[in-house]
Structure 1
Amino acid sequence: MRLPLSLIRLFLLWILCTGFLSAQVVVQDFPVLGQLLPRDAGGTAALDIQGLVTESGWDRAVLELYADDVLVQTDAADLSYVGSLAAFELAVTLTAGLIDYRAELVLENPSGRLGVKTADHLACGDVFFVQGQSNAVAADYWSENVANQWRSPWIRSFSTGSLSGFAVEANRNWYWAEGEASNGPGTVGSWALQIGALIVDRAQVPVAILNGAVGGTKINFHLRDDGNPMNTGTNYGRLLWRAQHSGLRDHVRAMFWYQGESNGSDASQYAAQFADLIGDWREDFPALQKVYVMQVRQGCGADDTSDIFEVQRQLAVQHPDVQLMSTTALPDHDGCHFRIGGYQSLAFDLARLMGRDFYGLPFGPEVEPPNVVQAWRSNLAGTEITVQFGPAGTLMSAENGAQFDFRLQDGVTVTSVSAQGDQLILQLNGPTNSSTLRYVGRSGGSSGWVSNQNGVGALTFEVPLM
């Protein structure tokens, strides 16, 4: 029997690392404690291993798969030696679900069995990533100590969100995902953790989440080093390294992007930089289906004159795989971040979108944020404006105070806002000659919002006024 080149390389590497042959088996691609194996379109994951037995006298290599401590699959290979070396390949299949798997590799001969390797608490499920700045980090900024109530053995993460490339590469461990700390081992942020909990509850599928967000960063901080994409000295490279070494890279289904406040003072290059970023994501994460973009809110560097809001609204026009989510009507905003109530509301909004997009839940367009279609002067005096929303604008509502969040170029102000189905009617304090209408939302506050029947806030916008 001729040894496969990959196994010869594995054997030589093992010799270089150990200096002597003290073990009976060298194994490639054996899982580790707590690893999540991403499921395919059929709802399963193949666990394939290659190995090299380095001592003669063993007849078979056997891979056993246990589900909740019950043996459910076995694959065995008869060993054929070349000298004292025998190569083998084994495979079993995990089915996605809330199942605690264990894999064991053993050697057998007529005299008995030798346990070689064991990997406990394996899972099979889905993969989602998070990137952005501090509202993507979504740590416990107000020391409320409640986000980790959603921790679960079915929500996993890999390595660390540290800004140190050395720390990232030194950590190849799997963790229960953590929702309160920031940029540490297993940290995913509070709203991402709750999304994971909602998926586990509704779809009965484990989830792996990697969060690479860093607070206070502009979009250029997140761009790829095209000469060395996995450069762990870069933010992009650290997340890509984690994706590669966790085995998740080819199975990321969605990316959550919450960033833009730090570009609030200059959004002129934002669309072009985002196009570069999403293009690189599509290349490096080939299973990527959706990019959920949070349109940022005033605060943390984005004031009511910023262009960032409209630039982000247009991303869904420019990129068909982008799904926007508003942040306007989220409660408990402190002017920059959110208390847990705000992040919890965001998690529910995003989980509905994911339920529709990935899990077949029968949600209609009202799970999306209301998005303006057009606005026009609707009386002869020019003192009334009608704003038309798209399909997500079902049963619109406008709270008292919403009138203060609209802007006209000539200084005319909105005195009241009423809702009629999928339209808003704005009354003005006089006729307007403005060529545009802007809806800018606000920083802080818990009322005065424009939203649809699900309570999803309207996207902020700047549109021509006809």
Structure 2
Amino acid sequence: MLTITPATATADTPDTACADQVRETSGFTPVLGLDLPSESDWLNQPVPYDFDRTAEVAGGFDRVGYCLELDGPEGPKWVWTSMEAFTDDATRLGLPTMSGQIVRQRVDDLDVRTNVPGVNVGGGQTGYLEMWPNQYSAGASTQVANASSQVYDADDNITGNTQGYGSFQVHQIGATRPSELHPKTVLAVNTFTSADDAALSVGIGTNTAGEPDWTFANNANSFTQRRLTVYARPAPATVTEGPRDRQLYPRDAQGGASVPVSGTVLDPRVRTLRLEVTSGRSTRTHTARVRDGQFSFSPRITAGLHSYKLSLWTVGAVERRVAHWTDIVSGDVYVVQGQSNAQAARYVGNAAGEESPWLRSFGSSTPDPVISGADRAWHHATGDVSYQSGSIGQWAIRTGRRIVDTYKVPVALVNGAHGGQPIAFFQRDDADPDRITTNYGRLRQRLAAAGIADRVRGVFFYQGESDSDNAAVHVGGYSSLLADWRADLGAAIPGGSQYLTYQVRTSPCNNGTAIALRDAQRRLGDTHDVTVLSTNGLSGHDGCHYAYAGGYRELGDHAFAVLARDQYRGPSAGVAPPNPRDAAFTDQARTEITVQLRSTDPLTVDPGAEADFRIDGSTATVSAVEYQAGGRLVLTLSEPAPDATGVTYLGHLRAGPWITNATGVGMLAFTGITVG
């Protein structure tokens, strides 16, 4: 007969059904226990646990376990689930009732045992945790494959600045995105911070008669027993520095990265540790002797489409895996910043097909400082939603996917954009650069926590609509922002980070004639040593934002072409946006003006493009435009223009005729090009 050794119990920590039924619990310490009341409002209050032994594992633990026991009309039910430690703070393992106690992330090596049918039992699964005191909605971050944005399940949306409901949920999910597996709830305790006198909502397995994660079930009174017990497994060694799951390490000049792993040994019997580094079918083993109670490793990984798994073991008298990290890669890092066209969420058409396991992001682009500060995890990059974990926008995910497919290197993109804001909103607080209530501080904190601030290869900036054609304010704000970026980012990049700024399509939105700010942006390439990108040539435009096809998709393609040229030694022909150098009359009658462009790339002039030109200081109009070899645009005028002082090109809203290069990039809007 199989003998089960239960977890250590005392008079204050009674046995549980999990300890009686599950062998794995024998190595765990029960650290928190609670007979759940029928209702509670513990918002910003300590939970009145029946016992609290968290101090006993404060030195370190490597796994966390939960046992939920319910006894109701269908008889006793129980579930045990354990997982890799998702925090090193034992006091954060229980119900989250305080502001900022937010856990919303994947966990690996999930083990589940239960007497409830429909729950997948066994080890080695992937889990997802949703633990917070806040209210929340059914909207999905898209981090969980096959989760719904219409019902409450394994991927719900925390409501920022609104607390007072509470979620404590463990789910089973597919390990990959996409996945054939649909998420299932393992256990749920909800409604514990509600002030509405509502009964707790509790359950084991997926609810088939309401919201799948038991939200709004309010069913606590149907059970005579409702007990939650929290466990932790004491660790023989703890890690003080190591990777995070799905982390991207910026590649260095040697074509890879070092991955530091170090820590402290707690069990004096441990004299040696082993680190296994696995990629595909190949495993490299490193060993380190304990010196003064410390250990350290620094294995190398290679940049490219190689995913690494690291496993740390104590060896000898205590043989145990004490840490495990999955899907570690080395690649390149870019930042996206600006207004809503930098957010580039879904307006018309989705970019889900651009997602890739080799595209990553860190933290959340949410403007809520509490939620932002709580998200310190690496995520799969997604393009269609905004203000969520891993959100990078549609054109950014297209750019990243093109880099992955073409140059076979993983890419991390971190998006800090916030829609509808003037350039003053994005400035650094020089007295407190990391202040999380500022947009700059939130992005700066994310990059620092990810360990990538000094390795940012490029920063994209799409902003200016909300500056309402005030060129002086915009250029002044951009100058200040650029100086701060250059001080804070890219210190380890030879020559520093590349800065790429878009000439906006309109400023303000739906105004196609205001030109002062747009022309000032065009000139930034000359005055600020940045790369200027065009938004002309895109017909999927609604007057302010873009559809995916004919808009954000092509913006991503154009951004990729520039990075390919400047960062990956790719082709340069047809990449730079057409940009005027000067203009002159080319006939004595002054009915023809030739605009000399800076590039000699061939251009396509659509019929009707002449309508977007203006002859400054004259009543003459442009009746025809022709491209001639050598980078010349020949403008035929409707009448002689002896008093002409300059040439202006406005572009236009929405679809219509364009002047584009071979990549499809439209000519930059301009004004004040003097006619010689």
- TM-score, normalising length from structure 2? 0.63
Q: What corresponds to 1:335 in structure 2?
A: 543
Q: What corresponds to 1:379 in structure 2?
A: 587
RMSD of Structure 2 on Structure 1 (CA): 1.9
Counterparts of 1:208-287 in structure 2 under 5 Å?
208-285=412-489, 286=491, 287=493
Preserved contact between residue 236 and residue 270 of structure 2 (Cα < 8 Å)? no
Q: 1:177 aligns with which of 381, 384, 387?
A: 381
Amino acid at match of 1:122: I
Q: Deviations over 1:9-62 (max 9, x none)?
A: xxxx96895599943222122112111111112211101122110120012022
Preserved contact between residue 579 and residue 668 of structure 2 (Cα < 8 Å)? yes
Give the secondary-structure state (helix, strand or coil) at the position aligned to 2:574.
helix
Q: What corresponds to 1:289 in structure 2?
A: 497
Per-residue deviation at 1:366?
A: 2.2
> Partners of 2:528 and 2:413 in 1: how far apart?
23
Alignment pair present for 1:79 and 2:290: yes
Alignment pair present for 1:161 and 2:372: no
Counterparts of 1:324-363 in structure 2 under 5 Å?
324-341=532-549, 342-361=551-570, 363=571
> Partners of 1:420 and 1:386 in 2: how far apart?
10
Q: 1:367 aligns with which of 575, 586, 597?
A: 575
Amino acid at match of 2:648: R
Alignment pair present for 1:438 and 2:642: no
Q: What corresponds to 1:9 in structure 2?
A: none
Counterparts of 1:291-310 in structure 2 under 5 Å?
291-298=499-506, 300=509, 302-310=511-519
> Partners of 2:638 and 2:515 in 1: how far apart?
25
Give the secondary-structure state (helix, strand or coil) at the position aligned to 1:175.
strand
Amino acid at match of 1:386: T
Cα separation, partners in 2 of 1:229 and 1:69, compared to 1, 3 Å: farther
Counterparts of 1:49-64 in structure 2 under 5 Å?
49-64=261-276
> Partners of 1:203 and 1:317 in 2: how far apart?
30
Q: 1:36 aligns with which of 223, 248, 251?
A: 248
Q: What corresponds to 2:347 in structure 1?
A: 141
Per-residue deviation at 1:126?
A: 0.7
> Partners of 1:51 and 1:305 in 2: how far apart?
59
Per-residue deviation at 1:302?
A: 4.6
> Partners of 2:467 and 2:510 in 1: how far apart?
7
Alignment pair present for 1:94 and 2:301: yes
Amino acid at match of 1:187: S
Q: Deviations over 1:67-94 (max 9, x none)?
A: 125313x33221245xxxx111211011
> Partners of 2:531 and 2:595 in 1: how far apart?
22
Q: 1:414 aligns with which of 603, 611, 622?
A: 622
- TM-score, normalising length from structure 1? 0.91
> Partners of 1:46 and 1:461 in 2: how far apart?
47
Per-residue deviation at 1:217?
A: 1.3
Give the secondary-structure state (helix, strand or coil) at the position aligned to 1:416.
strand
Preserved contact between residue 45 and residue 94 of structure 1 (Cα < 8 Å)? yes
Alignment pair present for 1:106 and 2:327: no
> Partners of 1:181 and 1:257 in 2: how far apart?
19
Q: What corresponds to 1:10 in structure 2?
A: none
Preserved contact between residue 261 and residue 302 of structure 1 (Cα < 8 Å)? no
> Partners of 1:22 and 1:452 in 2: how far apart?
63
> Partners of 2:590 and 2:560 in 1: how far apart?
42
Preserved contact between residue 106 and residue 114 of structure 1 (Cα < 8 Å)? yes
Per-residue deviation at 1:431?
A: 2.2
Preserved contact between residue 264 and residue 306 of structure 1 (Cα < 8 Å)? no
Per-residue deviation at 1:281?
A: 0.8
Per-residue deviation at 1:455?
A: 2.4
Counterparts of 1:171-210 in structure 2 under 5 Å?
171-210=375-414
Preserved contact between residue 408 and residue 436 of structure 1 (Cα < 8 Å)? yes
> Partners of 1:413 and 1:165 in 2: how far apart?
53
Is 255-264 or 126-135 further displaced after alignment? 255-264
> Partners of 1:26 and 1:243 in 2: how far apart?
25
Q: What corresponds to 2:170 in structure 1?
A: none
Per-residue deviation at 1:424?
A: 0.9
* Structure 1 runs of 4+ with >3 Å offset: 13-22
Per-residue deviation at 1:272?
A: 2.0
Per-residue deviation at 1:396?
A: 2.2
Q: Which runs of 5+ in 1 are unaligned?
A: 1-12
> Partners of 2:528 and 2:310 in 1: how far apart?
42
Give the secondary-structure state (helix, strand or coil) at the position aligned to 1:97.
coil
Is 184-193 or 291-300 further displaced after alignment? 291-300
Give the secondary-structure state (helix, strand or coil) at the position aligned to 1:253.
strand
Q: 1:132 aligns with which of 303, 322, 338?
A: 338
> Partners of 1:14 and 1:283 in 2: how far apart?
38
Q: What corresponds to 1:122 in structure 2?
A: 328
Per-residue deviation at 1:282?
A: 1.0
Q: Deviations over 1:116-156 (max 9, x none)?
A: 100011111110110011111111112x2x30111111001
Q: Which runs of 5+ in 2 are unaligned?
A: 1-57, 61-87, 92-231
Per-residue deviation at 1:411?
A: 3.3
> Partners of 2:59 and 2:640 in 1: how far apart?
80
Q: Deviations over 1:382-403 (max 9, x none)?
A: 2211111112x42222211211
Q: Deviations over 1:182-216 (max 9, x none)?
A: 11111000110011111111111111110011111
> Partners of 2:513 and 2:438 in 1: how far apart?
32
> Partners of 1:300 and 1:176 in 2: how far apart?
32
Q: What corresponds to 1:316 in structure 2?
A: 525
More helix by share: 1
Number of residues paired by the alignment? Answer: 442
Where relative contact order (Cα < 8 A, 6+ residues apart) is larger, the structure is 1
> Partners of 1:190 and 1:411 in 2: how far apart?
42
Preserved contact between residue 364 and residue 390 of structure 2 (Cα < 8 Å)? yes
Q: Which has the larger radius of gyration?
A: 2
> Partners of 1:268 and 1:360 in 2: how far apart?
35
Preserved contact between residue 408 and residue 434 of structure 1 (Cα < 8 Å)? yes
Preserved contact between residue 101 and residue 121 of structure 1 (Cα < 8 Å)? yes
Amino acid at match of 2:339: Q
Cα separation, partners in 2 of 1:14 and 1:332, compared to 1, 3 Å: same
> Partners of 2:233 and 2:355 in 1: how far apart?
42
Q: 1:67 aligns with which of 268, 276, 279?
A: 279
Per-residue deviation at 1:277?
A: 0.8
Q: What corresponds to 2:666 in structure 1?
A: 457
Give the secondary-structure state (helix, strand or coil) at the position aligned to 1:334.
coil
Alignment pair present for 1:426 and 2:630: no
- What percentage of aligned pairs have identical amino acids? 35
> Partners of 1:23 and 1:112 in 2: how far apart?
10
